[in-house]
Chains A and B, each alone.
Chain A
Amino acid sequence: MTDTATTEPFEEADQQKHASALGIWVFLATEVLFFGALFTQYAIMRMIHADAFFEAARTTRVWFGTANTAILLTSGLTMALAFKGEKADCPKVAVSMLWSTVLLGFLFLLVKGAEYYLDIRDGFIPGSASFPLEPAATQSFWSVYWLLTVIHAVHLSIGLVLIAVVAHLIRKGRLRSTTRASVMEVTSLYWAFVDMMWLFIYPLIYLAGRAG
């Protein structure tokens, strides 16, 4: 078996690479539809309850959201450098950048966890008797907050597992160079997508109504 051997059923390395690229783009298209529905829900609720939305949005913890945006952007950089390292045939660089991405992802989840702890402590749970805001429509905002951020965190967690597995396999030398290129491309595209979704969640959730 040569280093450029392909995985069944592919006969050529290019064919395998194009198939994996097409697969991840189709998957990301379905993800755009999924998040698009959530953003549409946000827009409709915000149009119906504009004042309540602004009041509720001002109670989110903007510094947590901003810190997490900076962390995700940094992880996007390390992931891009990992992909670049792999393309330059420097697996050691790729692996170290992949693990840096994993660490930054965990940092994101740590900050998010601290934020969730404070949110729950302060009673921002829609439907609970101790919900601290009036009118009742403010609960709509917090419903969207939990929905969007939890779904994003789930996507991010899946990405973390994927990156950790890829880093481990590359470090152990268990991926052929052709397979490694495809796997790295798919992984980096998925992570960049998770980054991009947060770039839209951040202003909608944390910055709405800040101007007063």
Chain B
Amino acid sequence: MTKRSLGWRAYLWPEVAIFGVLLALLAATLGLAYLPLGSLNLAVALLFAVVMAALVALFFMELARARSI
């Protein structure tokens, strides 16, 4: 394997951006839980959980760039 230089900007992007989005989604999930949406509260909370899990899978598990086994 050849050694490659790793610039800080290239190193941190896009993971840090995705991390920021995940924290924003967490804050939104918490805030929406206190809105009286009835049975939609659970649906909204789970929808946000699915979106956050998808971001983790795509970018932290690198599925967006992965090849099939």
For B, the interface residue count at a CB cutoff of 8 angstroms equals 37
B10-41 vs A, CB cutoff 8 Å, 1 = contact: the mask equals 01100110110011001001100111111001
The docked-state distance in angstroms from the alpha carbon of A169 to that of B61 is: 22
Total interface residues on A, using CB and 8 Å? 40
In whole Å, how far is B52's beta carbon from the nearest beta carbon of chain A? 5
Query: Least Cβ distance of B21 to chain A in Å?
Result: 10
Bound-complex Cα distance A204 to B57 (A) = 20
Closest to B66 in A: A21
Q: SS class of chain B's interface: helix, strand, loop or mixed? A: helix
Contact B61 A189 (CB under 8 A): yes
Q: Are B26 and A70 in contact (CB under 8 A)?
A: yes
* A199 lies within 8 A of chain B by Cβ: yes
Most buried by B among A76, A81, A199: A199
For A76, A81, A85, the residue with the greatest tally of chain B CB atoms inside 10 Å of its CB is A76
A-B contact sample (12 more), CB < 8 A, given A83-B62, A195-B60, A202-B49: A22-B69, A62-B30, A73-B19, A76-B60, A81-B11, A89-B1, A89-B4, A93-B11, A188-B60, A192-B56, A200-B53, A203-B45
- B-to-A contact residues, CB < 8 Å: 1-4, 6, 11-12, 15-16, 18-19, 22-23, 26, 29-30, 33-38, 41-42, 45-46, 48-49, 52-53, 56-57, 59-62, 69
